[in-house]
């Protein structure tokens, strides 16, 4: 088994993989209702929320699409706060549904600043919502001012929609405490489950916006999802096997304890950053805003990113992720979220060291 050190899909514990081989059940029957309730109750604890939590069969982008199509109407002005590729995906989604996004972009490698968000909101009183990526997987940046940005949005009576796909479940995202309206996560990240399930929480404020929202929607209609989930079902045939796996992964998460999971992620992230610096490499994220789930590393001079990735994969059995779009060739990414141990991290660092040596550096 290669050491899969990409920021999702993440490695799946063997018991979780095994849980996916269970016999199929009737998704309209009583066993499924019990399974769905057990999953949503615990996933809501991970979300730290009493809000409704939709369990959708989709990738994370499906969850983002649900967040946009249920709350943003054609012509609505919204503010998209971007620090990387995934923030820009929100802009594309809003445009696809006829909304009018204003992008407030921060330089790649840096985090968003709540004061500038507030200024941008002041500049256009018609803005209805702020869309925001909590943990920007493409740059390895944590938007550490999540709470302040939520406060800026609510201070001006805007909805706050958060992509927490690569943070929630690995790092604390206290949805109710921060009063976040719509929060998206995805099974293939910290949840230790294969891709296939997206979660979307919906606050009372967001339901009011959904009632007013004129955007056509069907598969991702959150009202339908809520009505179905209240009867122990999902509106459409769900990814039953992935839900079996999620059920098992949640057992493991609560056995470990959420605080322990957060501590483990913080500790291992530090271990990765220290190890990478010790190899003489530079981190891409600015100091103080480095993500605790994925580390973006500058490709050292004289080495080609493609050669680095292929050498690590072919000779040292370790899979790192490349840079996306304009960061392609400039950075590579070391994932450390979900089912990750000291040994995984140390093996990853050793593979990186051997790769650099092989390529004539170090
Ligand atoms: C922060 C963030 N947003 C959105 C996505 C998109 O999720 P998916 O690829 O599951 O559609 C990802 C996953 O790579 C992500 O890390």
Q: Per residue in 145-180, pLDDT tens?
A: 999 999 999 999 999 999 999 999 999 999 999 999
What percent of the chain has a predicted confidence (pLDDT) above 70?
100
Domain that holds residue 214: 18-254
Which residues does residue 334 pair with via DSSP β-bridges, in sequence order? 295
**Tens of pLDDT along 121-149?**
999 999 999 999 999 999 999 999 999 99
pLDDT score recorded for residue 362? 66
pTM score above 0.95: yes
Beta-strand (E) ranges in 16-175? 52-57, 77-82, 100-105, 127-133, 135-136, 141-142, 159-163
Domain with residue 285: its CATH number is 3.90.1150.10
Q: Which residues contact 216 (CB under 8 A, 6 or more apart)?
A: 69
Nearest CA to ligand 1 atom 8: 60
Q: Are residues 58 and 132 in the same domain?
A: yes
User: Which numbered atom of ligand 1 lies nearest the CA of 164?
Assistant: 1
Question: How far is the centre of ligand 1, averaged over its atoms, from the C-alpha of 201 (Å)?
Answer: 16
How do residues 19-77 score in pLDDT, each as one tens digit?
999 999 999 999 999 999 999 999 999 999 999 999 999 999 999 999 999 999 999 99
Which atom belonging to ligand 1 lies closest to the Cα atom of 198?
A: 10
Please compute the mean of the pLDDT values over residues 233-241 and round it to a whole number: 98
Q: Do residue 150 and residue 275 come from a single domain?
A: no
- Does residue 312 surpass a pLDDT of 90? yes
* Shared-domain flag, residues 98 and 42: yes
Burial (CB < 10 A; 0-12, 13-18, 19+), residue 210, is buried
Report the first-to-last Cα separation within the chain, whole angstroms. Answer: 27
Q: Is residue 60 lining ligand 1, measured as CB closer than 6 Å? A: yes
Query: Are 55 and 152 found together in one domain?
Result: yes
Q: How far is the CA of 86 from the centre of ligand 1 (A)?
A: 7
The conformational region for residue 142 under phi > 0 = left, psi -120 to 50 = alpha, else beta, is beta
**Average pLDDT over all residues of the chain:** 98
Whose Cα sits closest to atom 14 in ligand 1? Answer: 8
Ligand 1 neighbour 137 (Cβ under 6 A): yes
The CA 165 to ligand 1 mean position distance, Å, reads 6
Cβ of residue 166 lying under 6 Å from some atom of ligand 1 = yes
Tell me: do 207 and 108 sit in the same domain: yes
Ligand 1 centroid from CA 225, angstroms:
21
Q: What is the CATH number of the domain that holds 161?
A: 3.40.640.10
pLDDT of 308 strictly over 90: yes
């Amino acid at each position: 088994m290669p050491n899969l050190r990409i920021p999702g899909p993440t490695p799946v514990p063997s018991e979780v993989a095994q849980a996916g081989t269970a016999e199929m059940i009737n998704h309209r029957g009583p066993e499924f209702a019990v399974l769905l309730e057990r999953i949503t109750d615990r996933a809501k604890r991970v979300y730290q929320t009493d809000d409704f939590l939709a369990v959708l069969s989709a990738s994370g982008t499906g969850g983002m699409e649900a967040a946009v199509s249920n709350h943003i109407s054609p012509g609505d002005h919204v503010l998209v706060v971007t620090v990387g590729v995934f923030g820009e995906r929100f802009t594309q989604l809003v445009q696809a549904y006829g909304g009018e996004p204003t992008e407030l972009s921060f330089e790649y490698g840096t985090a968003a600043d709540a004061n500038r968000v507030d200024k941008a909101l002041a500049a256009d009183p018609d803005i209805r919502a702020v869309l925001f990526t909590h943990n920007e997987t493409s740059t390895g940046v944590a938007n550490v001012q999540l709470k302040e940005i939520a406060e800026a949005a609510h201070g001006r009576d805007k909805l706050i929609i958060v992509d927490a796909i690569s943070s929630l479940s690995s790092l604390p995202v206290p949805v109710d405490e921060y009063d976040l309206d719509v929060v998206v996560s995805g099974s293939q990240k910290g949840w230790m489950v294969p891709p296939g399930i997206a979660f979307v929480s919906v606050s009372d404020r967001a339901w009011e916006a959904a009632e007013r929202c004129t955007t056509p929607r069907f598969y991702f209609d959150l009202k339908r999802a809520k009505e179905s989930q209240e009867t122990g079902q999902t509106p459409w045939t769900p990814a039953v096997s992935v839900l079996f796996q999620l059920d098992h992964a949640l057992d493991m998460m609560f056995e470990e304890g959420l605080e322990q999971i957060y501590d483990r992620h913080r500790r291992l992230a530090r271990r990765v950053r220290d190890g990478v610096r010790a190899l003489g490499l530079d981190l891409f994220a600015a100091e103080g805003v480095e993500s605790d789930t994925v580390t973006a590393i500058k490709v050292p001079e004289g080495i080609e990113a493609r050669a680095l990735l292929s050498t690590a994969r072919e000779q040292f059995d370790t899979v790192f992720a490349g840079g996306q779009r304009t960061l392609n060739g400039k950075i590579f990414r070391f994932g450390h979220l979900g089912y990750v141990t000291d040994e995984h991290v140390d093996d990853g660092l050793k593979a990186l060291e051997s790769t650099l040596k092989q390529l004539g550096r170090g």
